[in-house]
Structure 1
Amino acid sequence: MPMLPIPAFVSIVLGYLALRSLLSGGRPLLVMLLAACAGQSLLVALVGGYALEGLRPALPVSATLIPPLAWITFRDALVRRATLRDALPHAAAPAFTLFCRLFAPQTLDLVVPLVFLAYGVAILWQLYRVSEAPLARLEAGGMPVLIWKALGWALIASAIGDGLIALALRAGHAGWAGWLITLSSSLALLFVGLLSVSPEATGPDDEARGTAEPELSNAEIAENAGILARLDGLLRREEAHLDPNLTLARLARRLHLPEKRLSAAVNRATGENVSRHVNLWRIRHACKLIEGGASVTEAMLASGFNTKSNFNREFRRVTGAAPSQWATVAHGSATEPAIADPDRSFRAR
């Protein structure tokens, strides 16, 4: 009975995810990243599992396609839509690897891990230093940041795995190297693929991170309050918060403000990020629906939430109670528990 190598199995899984993403209208860059991971895993299977040595020279070049694609996909999903002009400079990584393969193959043991390491660190550094994610879905909360951090660490882990493989080969432990290639490449590629296809991967929150804000002047305080009032007016008038795909960029465009200015004003005026402020409006709307007789699920879907976990978390944060408790009280079937008033924050302003 023919055996299916682990990398071949990983390739099938990633290929399926790429095809599913393509057919469901997924972002082209995401499909390309999944396809690149699937193709790399297939090459590893053909070389390591089926001894097709003629394909071995392609392995390092195809491997160094993945980190630049991960970086471009990350930027396209969270920060700014990628253009051909943005992407072209990153072709230098696989091009340089091809040059090394042809003219200095002894350097590949250093070049390939460095490419993975550099892009992994770049993703982590970008997540650390930026305070805005204008393309983020506000409903997604903080989960996308965790997903992309994990993907950055996966690239770094792959670099470490490549380094261990090179050390094993130099030490004469070819058997160890074979197992390391199979396990490290398969796990890293599968991890990158599964993380990137997560529905939350394209929407971190816009929470500002960083040092304490300097003391604001009265004029700045008034300006921030004015921007917040404009935002609340927009949400009240157009009910934009009911759109589950709402982003900071869309809100900023409607208010004719830079994304950073809107985010900073909300943060300074309320002490919270735009995501939490919008979710406050969403929970307020959900409470009214539940009080009107809607089920918890109906209220969740009609208030701009896609996931029950995020809805439950935000509902408890705003009201101090679970949605089921609120529904029980609203329908008058139990003694009222101590539940915070979701309108309190609005009246306080």
Structure 2
Amino acid sequence: MPFVPLSFVVAVLLLVLFAAAVRHGDERPVNRPFLALILISAFLSVLSGLRWGYGMQGTIMFLAPVCAAAVPPLAYAGVTELVRRSRTSLVRRLALHAVPMLIVIVLLATWRDAIDMALVLSFVAYAVAILLLMRPGTDALRLAPFEEAARAYRAILFAALALLLSAAIDTFVFLDLTWMGGQYAPPLIAVGNLVSLVILSIAAAAASRSHAVAETGEATVRSETGSDEETLSAVEALMATKRAYRDVDLNLDRLARKLGIPARRISTAINRATGKNVSQYVNEHRIAEACALLAETGKSVTEIMFEVGFQTKSNFNREFRRVTEMSPLEWRERKTATSPIAIKHDP
């Protein structure tokens, strides 16, 4: 029976994950850097299997570090697609993020012993850069729809931690090769880096389900000046009169364009006045209308979920329980106990 390295199995699973991520996107714009990250991770798993499973060296010794150097920039590029619209050209961005790979290529020709440390520094630097981008919490994901922001935020944090884990493993391997003659290096590289790639790919797939909403020709953003009270009043008016929260693709940038108020000012005002992030604030408006519809109409929970702006039952139920401390059905039963209404049942 032929020997099949674990890394080959991981590569197949990552390709399945890639297919699922692409299929999930449907007609939405896909997060190409995250999808490329999954493919690179699968390729690195194959290279790991060839090297540690079959003892193949040669070209693999050149391909593996160059491909590994592409991982952190792809993770960072995927995050920035949800954080901000780049004002620099695609060529300049590609040139900037190609620097780690170019450094590795130069080191392959001049100083191979320094490659491991160069990769460690790259992984740590990009992980720190991602964590700095995420400092505002879910409000950092200005281009991600509010319903998907919390999930994407958690996935991105896991991706940053996976980069740090990979850097830690590479550091340990370097020290093991230096001081212990590589006694523990093979199993640690084979298993540890595979774990890091799997975590990173799963996180990328989860985050890739969020999408940057296309630009619309709405109100021009005004200056940064204005009190928190004025900003919050403007947001409340938009929610009350136009029910903007029903827009399933509503995100912080789109909300800013609707109001003509800078996104940062909206985020700051809501956070200071309510102690919540913008995603929680918008979802609470959705839940408030859902509560009213559950109590006053016979519509099914699924109908109500879609009507108020949610797209998934899991997120709707989670947010509903966060706000009301009960499920939608429990809320309906409690509110309609004394005045029953005709209720449509979910299939």
Alignment of 1:200-279 (within 5 A): 202=210, 223-279=227-283
Aligned-partner residue type, residue 99 of structure 2:
A
Q: Which residue of 2 aligns with 1:340?
A: none
Instruction: Please state how far the C-alpha of 1:172 moved relative to its aligned partner.
Output: 4.9
Q: Deviation string for 1:272-292 (max 9, x for gaps)?
A: 332222112201221232120
Local SS of the residue matching 2:248: coil
2-structure distance, mates of 1:90, 1:199: 20
**Is 2:15 aligned against 1:15?**
yes
Local SS of the residue matching 1:69: helix
Local SS of the residue matching 2:17: helix
2-structure distance, mates of 1:333, 1:50: 72
Aligned residues: 319
1:80 paired residue among 77, 81, 85: 85
1-structure distance, mates of 2:318, 2:338: 23
Instruction: Please state how far the C-alpha of 1:199 moved relative to its aligned partner.
Output: 5.2
Whether contact under 8 Å (1:143, 1:200) holds in the other structure is no
Whether contact under 8 Å (2:246, 2:309) holds in the other structure is yes
Whether contact under 8 Å (1:151, 1:192) holds in the other structure is yes
Q: Which residue of 1 aligns with 2:99?
A: 92
Unmatched segments (≥5 aa) in structure 1: 205-218, 336-349
**Is 2:132 aligned against 1:125?**
yes
2-structure distance, mates of 1:27, 1:152: 17
Q: Is the deviation greater in 247-256 or in 143-152?
A: 143-152
Q: Which residue of 1 aligns with 2:344?
A: none
2-structure distance, mates of 1:30, 1:272: 29
* Change over 3 Å in CA distance of 1:260–1:330 after alignment to 2: same
Alignment of 1:96-245 (within 5 A): 96-128=103-135, 132-140=140-148, 142-174=150-182, 176-198=184-206, 202=210, 223-245=227-249
Whether contact under 8 Å (1:67, 1:120) holds in the other structure is yes
Whether contact under 8 Å (1:124, 1:152) holds in the other structure is yes
Instruction: Please state how far the C-alpha of 1:200 moved relative to its aligned partner.
Output: 7.7
1:294 paired residue among 293, 299, 307: 299
Whether contact under 8 Å (1:138, 1:203) holds in the other structure is no
1-structure distance, mates of 2:61, 2:338: 69
1:69 paired residue among 71, 74, 80: 74
Q: Is the deviation greater in 101-110 or in 225-234?
A: 225-234
Instruction: Please state how far the C-alpha of 1:173 moved relative to its aligned partner.
Output: 4.3
TM-score, normalised by the number of residues in structure 1: 0.82
Aligned-partner residue type, residue 19 of structure 2:
L
Whether contact under 8 Å (2:38, 2:201) holds in the other structure is yes
Whether contact under 8 Å (1:138, 1:247) holds in the other structure is yes
1-structure distance, mates of 2:31, 2:300: 33
Q: Which residue of 2 aligns with 1:281?
A: 285
TM-score, normalised by the number of residues in structure 2: 0.82
Aligned-partner residue type, residue 249 of structure 1:
D
2-structure distance, mates of 1:10, 1:159: 20
Instruction: Please state how far the C-alpha of 1:262 moved relative to its aligned partner.
Output: 1.6
Local SS of the residue matching 1:19: helix
Whether contact under 8 Å (2:34, 2:208) holds in the other structure is no
1:50 paired residue among 10, 31, 54: 54
Local SS of the residue matching 1:287: helix
Aligned-partner residue type, residue 121 of structure 1:
V
Whether contact under 8 Å (2:256, 2:266) holds in the other structure is yes
1-structure distance, mates of 2:207, 2:69: 25
Instruction: Please state how far the C-alpha of 1:317 moved relative to its aligned partner.
Output: 4.2
Whether contact under 8 Å (1:140, 1:200) holds in the other structure is no
Moved over 6 A (4+): none
1-structure distance, mates of 2:259, 2:159: 34
Instruction: Please state how far the C-alpha of 1:58 moved relative to its aligned partner.
Output: 1.7
Aligned-partner residue type, residue 7 of structure 2:
P
Instruction: Please state how far the C-alpha of 1:141 moved relative to its aligned partner.
Output: 5.3
Instruction: Please state how far the C-alpha of 1:44 moved relative to its aligned partner.
Output: 1.2
Local SS of the residue matching 2:140: coil
Whether contact under 8 Å (1:296, 1:327) holds in the other structure is no
Aligned-partner residue type, residue 276 of structure 2:
E
Instruction: Please state how far the C-alpha of 1:266 moved relative to its aligned partner.
Output: 2.4
Aligned-partner residue type, residue 31 of structure 1:
L
2-structure distance, mates of 1:23, 1:329: 40
* Change over 3 Å in CA distance of 1:123–1:199 after alignment to 2: closer
Q: Which residue of 2 aligns with 1:38?
A: 42
2-structure distance, mates of 1:124, 1:118: 10
Q: Which residue of 2 aligns with 1:327?
A: 332
Whether contact under 8 Å (2:143, 2:251) holds in the other structure is yes
